[in-house]
Amino acid sequence: MLRFGNSCRSWTGVTFVVAITFVQQLQLLLAYHISSTRVDLHEHKISSNNDTAYVREIMRLAKAAEMGNYMKPEVDACDDFFAYACGNWAKINPAGFVIPRQTNFFQLLTKSYNQKQLKILQEAEQKSDSEPIKIVKRFFNACMNLPNPKEKRQYEFKLRQILQDFGEMPALWPDGAWAASDFNWQRTIAQIQKKYGLDILLSIYIRPDFTNKTINKLFLRQPAFRLQTESMYTSETTKFHRENYKQEIKNNLIIQLKVEEEKAERVAAEILEIETALAAGILDRKLGKTFKSMTTLRTLSELNEAYNNTFDFKQFIETSLNQTFNDTLYEYMPAYQENLFEVVRSTTPERLANYIMYQLIHNFLMKTNEKVAVREGKCFEKTKFFFTKILDNTIFHKYNSKNTINDINLIWSQIKTIFKAELESEKLGWISLMTRKLALEKLDAMKLEINSYENINLTEEYATLNIDSNDYVENVEQLLIFHSKRVVKSLHEIGKPFESPQILSFSSAYIATHNIIKIPVSLLQPNYLWSDHYPQALKFGTLGYLVAHELIHGFDDMGRNFDVNGNEIGWWDANSTEAFNERKACFKDQYARYRYGGKYLPENELQAENIADNGAVKIAFSAYTNWLTSAFDNVPQDMVEPEIELLPNMNYTNKQLFFISFAQFWCNDVNKLLKDEEPLVDVHAPAMFRVIGSLANFAEFSNEFHCGQGTTMNPENRCEIY
């Protein structure tokens, strides 16, 4: 998966949505070119469909000015191409201490996309609205209505009622008044799972079986944790994040649940302490272990025996699913369960109950005394969380054209053609002929889809959901129940591709179990990374790279474990696997030598993202040069450069523009706190090394920028798999 940073983080920069004359645009453009203030000309009245020569030139001037402003040409491109291409980004789009902690191009896309979605939510419900959109608007309005005194009283009453349904929270009782004898933690988390589908302490997960993707299997595994990795709970460099998390819990206890301050301070510390202890069992993704290798197929009886009957797994599973369960299931990472039971044994019932009840009620909390702008932002995020599919589908219908989809399909076809030729060439002679034959079959079957939910009847899917414009908590309850029932029902349905709308709304992804690449609707927005008005070099350097990146994930150190049908079985022969691992070790050593924030990047056994980055930029570049050949086949490229592939006021060749556009896609500014956190939680290299690492391994880059042998960007030894 190609991740761009946390989806909930915002960004700064002065943004102007312009609806002005061409002359005014040109005046703004000229002012923009000489100013350090960011003027955003992406959202404008000049449509990408307006292809008059004058409009095209204005747009090309604007893009040239934007790209030029981000660059720092006094830096030696052969020493640090990231600083060369992005050296002025931080001045124009600075990261903040808290918000935004990071700025990047993805945030420009996200902000524009959010504005489009929010505009729909702010409109009054209309007769012409689809039924799904009416539901979404009602949920958003219910959230916005919370400051209303009547809704506020109802909100506070229902929070307590939700807790009482599962036995109450000790922190809400006077000290010593809560009856520990009435508390059974196993029963409580199972009942919460049954009603709301919330994973507390243990997670129930349903996905296609490893060896037969047409059937779904039940998986028992660790739940998601707020701070994501064990190191985030224990490292001294991330203490700030733990303190913030604890303060957030304390404030919620005081403001939302009316707990006195001294007790709230103590309970918040205890909740964080329990979560820190649980995090000792979290899997480190950087170990590069496959999902299958971390699971064991068991019966419920075998599970009980494995843990000496200290936990009644049969009761937990059958209560959670609200049905009899006699099938086998997969236990994921037993080390987590072992640690969980040890933590439970060493924790008092009162503390454990507070932890469980807080994890439950946290899903319903929404402050009732915030300013309208703050509330609107939070209500929007909550609405997106529950209704991503409907909003993405609506935006797709409203804003995207057939030309955009055709462009993506064309690039996809070209990217596949390039990689097919590579698989058939002697360049990959280290892979056996039989393994390459199977790889070609997998490539041929691989599909790309826009994640627009066009193939789903959303009206039918949400037909049973009742949303009230004046009852926020009830709405959240209904949505959790609605989604929980759908998940349980899927256990008896045909296996389907991984579905996580919240992630797939902003990040492209390769779904290994179904050999499909998903492209989010948000990436279809024109005039940011690419446009009909810009040189094709920019489109191939950004969109082409993104598509190629996901394709390579099908053949990286994780994706290569899945066959043409998406089953996780070994299909690489031993010699090819050994040769692959030798080449992978080169990447592991290369990236471990990079220093970020004054520290070496941690060693990472998982090299999937580095492999995908390195292969993708090469494939995208080859696809671009192939396009040039076909588009200008009557013009010898070593004699004449196609003018349409250049940008005004930028003294760069078309191929140099390809590399600049690729690098600028990763331009970012990161505050110190995030710099400390990033290597601990992210399997991707920091943005600067996604540029430096992949281009240093690409001879064509050093040729285009005339980098001498032995410079940073033209090293003596290079790493390469694809």
Residue 472: partners with Cβ closer than 8 Å, 6 or more residues away: 142, 143, 145, 146, 151, 155, 366
What angle separates helix 349-361 from helix 261-279, to the nearest 10 degrees? 90
**In a shared domain, residues 358 and 388:** no
Domain housing 468 = 22-116+376-704
Judge if 246 and 295 occupy the same domain.
yes
Q: Would you say residue 2 lies in a domain?
A: no
pLDDT above 70 coverage of the chain, percent: 91
4 or 668, greater pLDDT: 668
Q: Are residues 422 and 328 in the same domain?
A: no
Q: End-to-end CA distance of the chain, in Å?
A: 18
Q: Same domain for 410 and 345?
A: no
CB-based contacts of 525: which residues, under 8 Å, 6+ apart? 42, 109, 112, 113, 399
Q: Is residue 121 part of a domain?
A: no
Band (pLDDT 50/70/90 cuts) for residue 286 is confident
Residue 722 lies in a domain: no
pLDDT of amino acid 166: 96
Same domain, 228 and 283: yes
Say yes or no to pLDDT of 34 above 60: no
Specify whether the backbone of 228 is left (phi greater than 0), alpha (psi in -120 to 50) or beta: left
pLDDT tens for each residue of 410-444: 999 999 999 999 999 999 999 999 999 999 999 99
- The pLDDT of residue 344 is 97
CATH number of the domain that residue 470 is part of: 3.40.390.10
Residue 82 has pLDDT above 60, yes or no: yes
Within a domain: 102: yes
The answer as to whether 248 is a domain residue is yes
**Residues near 200 by beta carbon (within 8 Å), at least 6 away in sequence:** 189, 192, 193, 223, 356, 359, 360
Contacts of 664 (CB under 8 A, 6+ apart): 67, 70, 85, 86, 105
Domain identity same for 332 and 447: no
Number of folded domains that form the chain: 2
Mean pLDDT for the chain overall: 89
Residues 360 and 388 placed together within one structural domain of the fold: no
669: its two tokens: 């500014």
Q: How many residues does the chain have?
A: 722
Looking at the structure, tell me whether residues 521 and 619 fall in a common domain.
Answer: yes
Q: How far apart are CA 451 and CA 392, in angstroms?
A: 8
Which tens digits make up the pLDDT trace of 528-558? 878 889 999 999 999 999 999 999 999 999 9
Write out the DSSP string of 657-685: HHHHHHHHHT-EEE-HHHHHHHHHH-SSP
pTM for this entry: 0.87
d(CA 605, CA 672): 25
Confidence (pLDDT) at 446: 98
226: domain CATH number is 1.10.1380.10
- Residue 386 inside a domain? The answer is yes
Residue 658 scores a pLDDT above 50? yes
How do residues 233-242 score in pLDDT, each as one tens digit?
A: 999 988 989 9
Q: Half-sphere exposure of residue 695, counting CA atoms within 13 Å on the CB side?
A: 34
Q: In whole angstroms, what is the distance from residue 356 CA to residue 352 CA?
A: 6
46, pLDDT greater than 70: no
Q: Are residues 330 and 421 in the same domain?
A: no
Same domain, 344 and 413: no
